[in-house]
Amino acid sequence: MVERGDAAPLLRWAEGPAVSPPQAPELQAGGRGWGGGGRGAAEPPRRREPEELGASEVLLQPGRLELGDVEEDQVVAVFVVTFDPRSGNMVEWCLPQDIDLEGVEFKSMASGSHKIQSDFIYFRKGPFFGLACFANMPVESELERGARMKSVGILSPSYTLLYRYMHFLENQVRHQLEMPGHYSHLAAFYEDKKGVLHAGPGRGGSLPPVYWLPSIHRYMYPEMKITHPAGCMSQFIKFFGEQILILWKFALLRKRILIFSPPPVGVVCYRVYCCCCLANVSLPGLGGTIPESKPFFYVNVADIENLEVEVSYVACTTEKIFEEKRELYDVYVDNQNVKTHHDHLQPLLKINSADREKYRRLNEQRQTLLYSQEVEGDYGPCEEDLFVLFFLEQNNRIFQTLLEVSASQDKTLTAEHARGMGLDPQGDRSFLMDLLEAYGIDVMLVIDNPCCP
């Protein structure tokens, strides 16, 4: 039975001045405020190990934001999910009372979470994005079988600003474990932060727009370094090594990419985000031809019907059964093993000479950056800037060449063009053919297939 909360008296705790995108977030790190944590602007970045990537870090939603745009806080729902030993996962409380939260009880408490102490999860629910913080506390109770597990989460039309409330959610889930049934802080939070919902179907209007990951605006990039998880992209590339170039090609082709990992799932949600970032393009005039790359973040079996109709997405799961459902994905990533069951995509799994050269250049640039930081004290750019811009520039070079060739008289793409784009004329022939088809670019590929006489 879902308990619906009544609106509590409005409580406003100090948050400080609003933070505009070009500034480092300096919101409160928990306590009585709503805000999430962040590094101060004056603090130089430092290298962090993978386990240091905290739940309080920031996710950016690239694209469709121009300089001067300020996204308004919009929290459309707040909820508490609990695990009941007899009934399983269930929503025990939520605001507003009429919000559709079907399935959220499973999205906000990932399968296998009983084995870990805490986690955070990004997910999608209809037109909204969600963030939930999970915690597991031992209790001396036979009724609860020795463990009390809850998640506290929120829904928003965009995931750009969800990070601001990470610490608040972490504190509140601990509060719910220690004092079950006390929802006044959550009710006050909702009253303070609730967004105005547009009328939905049957209410004389349409739902608010959902913002995905389209082409990134080149003038918006300076804002990125403080609005995505510090260490996120560098750890992503360290984890996959040279295989990052395989994921890059699949992401650029807008394939359905599913990442499997056992809990905790928070860091895997960041891998979904990073995978989408590999496919950024900032060329004007190209946006209309790009299929959407949708970050679904965490998915479970309840999402199967939705995934069946998607032509492009990136998602992660803790449920191994997905591996058997090949009709749902094009690319399956298990730990560091990237694979596909499609015969025509098999050539893309092979690392070629151009891939190795790109990976070498990437690491070379990274070492140069680290040297400048450690020796010269230049903390302007960070590793994340370098990685994101590296692939952005690579993608721009490819599409600039393809658009120029398509506008030429003979529309002929040669091996020289391929090398100029940083691709292997032979090893990337299949990738180029798929790319031309996916983006509807009209050129003639005259690179010989080495397999044919």
Phi, psi torsion values for 205, nearest 5 degrees? -160, -160
Average pLDDT over residues 253-279: 93
More confident residue, 26 or 277: 277
Q: Is residue 89 part of a domain?
A: yes
Q: Which residues of 204-241 are buried (b: 16+ CB within 10 A; e: fewer)?
A: eeeebeebbbbbbbeebbebbbbbbbbbbbbbbbeebe
Q: How high is the pLDDT of residue 329? A: 98
As a whole number, the mean pLDDT across the chain is 77
227-251 residue pLDDT tens: 455 678 778 988 999 999 999 999 9
Q: Which of 112, 22, 6 is nearest to 67 (CA)?
A: 22
pLDDT higher than 50, residue 21? no
Q: Is residue 264 part of a domain?
A: yes
Other beta carbons less than 10 A from residue 43's beta carbon: 10
Domain count, the chain: 2
Q: Is residue 324 part of a domain?
A: yes
| Weakest mean pLDDT among 75-79, 355-359, 379-383, 438-442 | 379-383
Domain endpoint, select from 349, 364, 386 = 349
Phi, psi torsion values for 170, nearest 5 degrees? -60, -45
More confident residue, 214 or 322: 322
Domain endpoint, select from 302, 318, 349 = 349
- Give me the domain span that covers residue 269: 229-349
Q: Give the CA distances from residue 223 to residues 103, 158, 213, in Å, rounded to whole numbers and listed in that order.
A: 34, 17, 16
DSSP string, 314-345: EEEES-GGGGG-GGG-SEEEETTEEE---GGG
Q: How high is the pLDDT of residue 289? A: 59
Amino acid identity for residue 392 in this structure: L
Domain endpoint, select from 319, 349, 379 = 349
Average pLDDT over residues 38-42: 33
- Confidence at 296, pLDDT banded by 50, 70, 90: very high
